[in-house]
Structure 1
Amino acid sequence: MELLSYLSWGPHGWGDELVRGLGVTLSLALTTLPLGLLLGLLIALASVSGRPVLQRLAQLYTATLRGIPELLTLFVVYNGAAMLLNQLARHVNPDAGFVELSPFVAGVVALGLVFSAFAAEVLRGAWLALDKGQREAARALGFTPWLGFWLVEFPPLLRLALPGLGNLWLNLLKDTALVSVIALNDLMRMASVAVGVTKQPFLFYLAVSLLYWLLCVLSEAAIGRLEQHLSRGLRRPAL
């Protein structure tokens, strides 16, 4: 019981700090998700556009970001973007002070870039698996290419891509732990601080592991419900 008191609320426990870190982790993941999905969709559309230049650029983008470790991407964004911002600031105003990039923004950008590269491949595969008759039906109804895509092709595209995107979301939740190395007070960093003060690594790392596991279980349940919603109206094969 004395050991569990470290997880209590108040000045003598670390429970409130862990909850605040959990909030930062969720905020980071939920902010990164739409950015990564939108960018991934644009890259996927470029890869299936039929235009050689766009296809090569999309292939280069996905191959580069999927081939670099996420931690290295985070360091490049955090340090490289800060250097670029300071150079631009000094170019505009030679007397400008040092500009520091927010760790949260750096985390969103880095994780969003990595997520988009993997999401683009998932969406490209789903696009290639689409029934071409849907596209022909949209054209027969007089829809413009963009309107036909959003109203006719995108819903089944999302249904086909959802399992892969769901796995990417789970990976994103766990990859948020990487931002602790750039001093963002997420769940992992708060646990590391608590371990440094209390010298109880097993307790805090086990508690954090359970919290990440709980997030993944809840996410899997939500993804399952979404899959059922997107699959409504489809005929199931007879047994």
Structure 2
Amino acid sequence: MLNDFWVLMVERGWALALLQGSAVTIAIGLLGMALGVIVATPLAVMRWRRVPVVSQFVDGYSIAIRGVPGLLVIYLLFFGSIDWIRAVTTVFGFQQATENVYPFIIGVLAIAAISCAYSIEVIRGALEAVPRGLLEAAHSLALPWNITFFRVTLPLALRLALGGINNVWQMTIKDTSLISVVGLQELMRTAAIAAGITRSPLLFYCIAAVLFFSMTTVSQSVFSAAERSLNRGFGGR
């Protein structure tokens, strides 16, 4: 049995393929999450400040994305854009290059759209949780609103939001498995291909589970360390 495992993993190269799939999964997760949080931060601020029209638009976007399955978001982005992307790239003569990279781009954008919707709520809730007494103290010192926001409100809100952002990240890294439907060979699709070729689905899906669990465990450790560091002086351990 161990000999068969060695043959599958090493001699037939499936171990390397799974590691490459894991790297694609991590890349999509990191890029999508980073883009989602970057976009979510100003949107959350506008919703927190109840900017007319924009606040309602942000609220509608967040509710809509959180109210449908992530797979549907991926389908809408991919099949809603692939035809005109092909038409444009055909005109300029780089259709094949686009065909190769487009699933990755769609994967990052889909993950960003999903993580952004959840991050908006996390950051908005953190902004509202900043103690009002601190803001009143800043106002009593006649600090300009921009100094108060960037030096007091936002740093405290991001500290409070870190736990929620951790939850969004854990969800995001698992949602990357949905990107396999557009043909991108991330971890889940690689495991499915290996399972079909070798007729060993249990083995490869168990390996995929172990790899996903390893990613989330390492991520949890990193976020826990960051929370402990940021909570120093605030009663954190």
TM-score exceeds 0.5: yes
CA distance in 2, matches of 1:156, 1:6: 53
CA distance in 2, matches of 1:126, 1:236: 17
CA distance in 1, matches of 2:106, 2:212: 22
Q: Which residue is equivalent to 1:78?
A: 78
Residue 3 of structure 1 deviates from its aligned partner by: 3.6
CA contact (8 A) 1:6 1:14 kept: no
Query: 1:5-48: CA deviations, max 9, x gaps?
Result: 255334x2410100111111111111111101011112211211
CA distance in 2, matches of 1:165, 1:55: 21
CA distance in 2, matches of 1:3, 1:176: 30
Secondary structure at the aligned position of 1:8 is classed as helix
Q: Which residue is equivalent to 2:26?
A: 26
Q: Which residue is equivalent to 2:9?
A: 8
Give unpaired runs (5+ residues) of structure 2.
Answer: none
CA spacing shift, 1:45–1:83, aligned 2, 3 Å: farther
Q: Give the TM-score, by structure 1 length.
A: 0.89
Q: How does 1:1-239 map to 2 (within 5 A)?
A: 1-10=2-11, 12-86=12-86, 89=88, 95-96=91-92, 100=99, 102-235=102-235
CA distance in 2, matches of 1:131, 1:183: 47
CA distance in 2, matches of 1:236, 1:28: 32
Q: Give the TM-score, by structure 2 length.
A: 0.89
CA distance in 1, matches of 2:33, 2:8: 30
Secondary structure at the aligned position of 2:235 is classed as coil
CA contact (8 A) 1:5 1:13 kept: no
CA spacing shift, 1:51–1:201, aligned 2, 3 Å: same
Secondary structure at the aligned position of 2:80 is classed as helix
What one-letter code is carried by the residue in structure 2 that aligns with 1:119? S
Cα RMSD, aligned residues only: 2.2
Query: 1:98-137: CA deviations, max 9, x gaps?
Result: 5646111101111101111011011111111111222233
Residue 225 of structure 1 deviates from its aligned partner by: 0.4
Between Structure 1 and Structure 2, which shows a larger proportion of helix residues? 2
CA distance in 2, matches of 1:6, 1:34: 38
Between 1:77-86 and 1:154-163, the stretch displaced more is: 77-86
CA distance in 2, matches of 1:199, 1:114: 34
Give unpaired runs (5+ residues) of structure 1.
Answer: none
CA spacing shift, 1:236–1:22, aligned 2, 3 Å: closer
What one-letter code is carried by the residue in structure 1 that aligns with 2:6? S
